Structure 1
Amino acid sequence: MALKIVYPVCCGIDVHKSFVVACIAATDDKGVTTYQRRRFSTFTGDLRLLAQWLAEHGCRDVCMESTGKYWIPVYNMLESTCKVVLAHPKYVKAIRGKKTDTKDAKWIADIFKHDLVSGSFIPPFAIRQLRDFMRYRVKLTSFSVGEKNRAQNCLTVSNIKLDDVFSDVFGKSASAITEQLLAHPDGDFDVAPFIHRRCKASPDKVQAAVDGLMCSEQAEKLKIIHSHMDSL
């Protein structure tokens, strides 16, 4: 029993970093499929030519594999003029020993014309951009947490016990005292002017907490960490 042709005119695209190979599969009423193949670079101008080439052949149904991040510019270029199905590489993998760029594109077109490819969900462009920003925000937050941990480590190895007298080592009072510590690593300064009136710890206890042994190397490291935190 012959498989049903769902997409009489469709295209399979094999995506690489520097180029894509596109294969248009056109099936006539008798079930005979003819193929047209072209290779395009991934420069924007050539991707426009790809979109134009597909339009000239009346091809609006496209399937391509999601190769790394390289599929994104191709998808962005084609989504306004074509219905693009993005497939996981394991679902469009060619038979072992039969792989070439041209054959891969033809294989994708062949299985796609029978609607045998399970496409991935791709949200609209605006949502994709929002997701990208949110992922970046998560990474920045992770970097910030890491730098705070490193800053706390500098204080710990220097036996400066700010975490014993302040609930937040990066709060207003603790930060002001830390800045003074960087200016006076030996702790020879009065902490009272830098303690907020709502602080529960007494000035004497805070003074005892900053009596540590911060070497110049740890002080320099802490300065670098603070500059990183200020830029995040």
Structure 2
Amino acid sequence: MNILYPICCGIDVHKKFVVATLINSNSDGTFTDHTETFSTMTNDLIRLKQWLESFNCKDVAMESTGKYWIPVFNILEDSCNITLANPRFVKNMPGKKTDPNDSRWLGKLHRHGLVPGSFIPPKDIRQLRELTRYRTKLTNMRSSEKNRLQNSLTVCNIMLSNVVSDTSGLSSRKIIEALLNGEDLSPDNLREFVHGKLHKKIPDLQEALNGKLTEHQISKIKVILEHFFQINECLAEVDLLILEKTKPYQYYISLLETIPGIKQKAAQTILSEIGTDMSVFFSDQHLCSWAGVSPRNNQSAGKKKSTKIGEGDSYLKPILCQCANAAVKSKSSFLCAKYKSVASRRGHKKAIIAVARVMLVAIYHMFKNNEPFKDMGHDNYSKMISDQKQRAMVKELESLGYKVEKVVK
């Protein structure tokens, strides 16, 4: 096999220490290896860097173990070409698993270029990604507190969620505050609390509020509401930090916002996950596979097995699906036509994944060619599908021996 990296290193990463094996190729094709163990303290990681420099080693492969690879990457980023490996793709032979053997195996694979590297965006994009992922976590925590509040009301026979669409809305918050304070919720008092269309639902609200909050649930709801408002404050601060980080990328944000269904926050999240340099992906298909919005290949003995989509990026895929759900509401758009075409045959969920894939392919080419989204429209998609069906029918007739000619009217 060809030797791509004559001098390279494999690093097995753990929480408290790393095991590094340096592979040094000889002129006859053999190699010698040197194994050392370093702690994950900064001074020892600097010693690891100096140890690599003493052998003139510039090419390093290491496993992406949790968050533990990041301190090592921070130290070696400036001096080495680092390939970050998914542990699934570089497993050693069964029965030979030790830390030195793992690092040696990783080094031997990397010597021949057999370690597929993971996508590591530039430093500023990584910092933006940390913020957008933290915002996602905070949003999920806020949703959990909303559900917790609703559950506390339900167990006390207060069915507020049966009447109002959002138990965290302005009218609902005023009603819940009145319940916690033990105020009288007569029809006249309810009219002061509710807004808009809820004025027509006063009798239903009275029926829904015919329950009793226990002291235990009152104390619990107060804690829930306090935490809910704290999360809102944290989200506001994180939003400001994200806005500051995305200032150099406003052009790309504006490009993403030309796609139906994508607004500012979604654009920020998509940008933080894929970056702006599309050359790191071989093609739009590679990007879709990496994101987890394309079917997997699973074929053996001429038989196709499950082709369900892969796991992909657990932050990018959900936001793409959210944007796809919003985009298909635009009845005149190409994306809506695509959704209807797939949903009629495969159902809603698969249609949304198909639309998310179309959006990601568009994003790839928009970033690569620096151009905004061009919506082909609903009618053009229908015409394109009609032409495809026509070509398929003609091809089938010709395979049966018929000669097909187009009649021009």
TM-score, normalised via structure 1 length: 0.86
Letter in 1 for 2:173: S
Instruction: Write the deviation string for residues 109-139 of structure 1: whole angstroms up to 9, x where unpaired.
Output: 1221111222222222222232222222222
- Matching residue of 1:95: 93
Q: Using a 3 Å threshold, how does the CA distance of structure 1 residues 195 and 18 change in structure 2: closer, same or farther?
A: same
Q: Distance in 2 between matches of 1:27 and 1:81?
A: 20
Question: SS where residue 10 of structure 2 aligns?
Answer: strand
More strand by share: 1
- Matching residue of 1:213: 212
Q: 2:150 aligns with which of 133, 138, 152?
A: 152
Q: Using a 3 Å threshold, how does the CA distance of structure 1 residues 27 and 176 change in structure 2: closer, same or farther?
A: same
Q: Using a 3 Å threshold, how does the CA distance of structure 1 residues 212 and 97 change in structure 2: closer, same or farther?
A: closer
Q: State the Cα distance separating 1:21 from its structure 2 match.
A: 1.2
Structure label with greater radius of gyration: 1
| Structure 2 contact 60–82 (Cα < 8 Å) conserved | yes
Pair 1:18 & 2:16 matched? yes
Question: SS where residue 69 of structure 1 aligns?
Answer: coil
Q: Distance in 2 between matches of 1:90 and 1:205?
A: 56
- Matching residue of 1:86: 84
Q: State the Cα distance separating 1:205 from its structure 2 match.
A: 5.6
Q: Distance in 1 between matches of 2:129 and 2:194?
A: 41
Higher alpha-carbon deviation: 135-144 or 44-53: 135-144
Deviation above 4 Å: which 4+ runs of structure 1? 185-189, 202-209
Letter in 1 for 2:195: H
- Matching residue of 1:195: 194
Q: 2:115 aligns with which of 114, 117, 127?
A: 117
Instruction: Write the deviation string for residues 80-121 of structure 1: whole angstroms up to 9, x where unpaired.
Output: 211111112233222233333222222221221111222222
Higher alpha-carbon deviation: 199-208 or 155-164: 199-208
Q: State the Cα distance separating 1:42 from its structure 2 match.
A: 0.5
Q: State the Cα distance separating 1:76 from its structure 2 match.
A: 2.1
Pair 1:48 & 2:46 matched? yes
- Matching residue of 2:2: 4
Question: SS where residue 25 of structure 1 aligns?
Answer: strand
Number of positions where the alignment pairs a residue of Structure 1 with one of Structure 2 = 230
Letter in 1 for 2:229: D
Q: Distance in 2 between matches of 1:97 and 1:204?
A: 71
| Structure 2 contact 3–111 (Cα < 8 Å) conserved | yes
Matches within 5 A, 1:56-71: 56-71=54-69
| Structure 1 contact 15–65 (Cα < 8 Å) conserved | yes
Q: Using a 3 Å threshold, how does the CA distance of structure 1 residues 99 and 210 change in structure 2: closer, same or farther?
A: closer
Q: Distance in 2 between matches of 1:114 and 1:10?
A: 10
Instruction: Write the deviation string for residues 140-180 of structure 1: whole angstroms up to 9, x where unpaired.
Output: 21221121122122223333343355343222222112111
Name the Cα RMSD after superposition.
2.4
**Greater RCO (CA < 8 Å, at least 6 residues apart):** 1
- Matching residue of 2:267: none
| Structure 1 contact 186–214 (Cα < 8 Å) conserved | no
> Which structure 1 residue ranges, 5 or more long, are not aligned?
none
| Structure 2 contact 7–23 (Cα < 8 Å) conserved | yes
Q: Distance in 2 between matches of 1:34 and 1:168?
A: 66
Higher alpha-carbon deviation: 32-41 or 201-210: 201-210
| Structure 1 contact 185–215 (Cα < 8 Å) conserved | no
Q: State the Cα distance separating 1:53 from its structure 2 match.
A: 1.6
Q: Using a 3 Å threshold, how does the CA distance of structure 1 residues 162 and 95 change in structure 2: closer, same or farther?
A: closer
Q: State the Cα distance separating 1:41 from its structure 2 match.
A: 0.3
Instruction: Write the deviation string for residues 197-216 of structure 1: whole angstroms up to 9, x where unpaired.
Output: 66433656645543432221
Q: Distance in 2 between matches of 1:161 and 1:81?
A: 62
Letter in 2 for 1:27: S
Q: Distance in 1 between matches of 2:204 and 2:89?
A: 65
Question: SS where residue 37 of structure 2 aligns?
Answer: strand
Higher alpha-carbon deviation: 83-92 or 58-67: 83-92
| Structure 1 contact 12–64 (Cα < 8 Å) conserved | yes
Q: Distance in 2 between matches of 1:37 and 1:162?
A: 65
- Matching residue of 1:229: 228
More helix by share: 2
Question: SS where residue 200 of structure 1 aligns?
Answer: helix
Letter in 2 for 1:67: T
Q: State the Cα distance separating 1:29 from its structure 2 match.
A: 2.6
Q: Using a 3 Å threshold, how does the CA distance of structure 1 residues 62 and 206 change in structure 2: closer, same or farther?
A: same
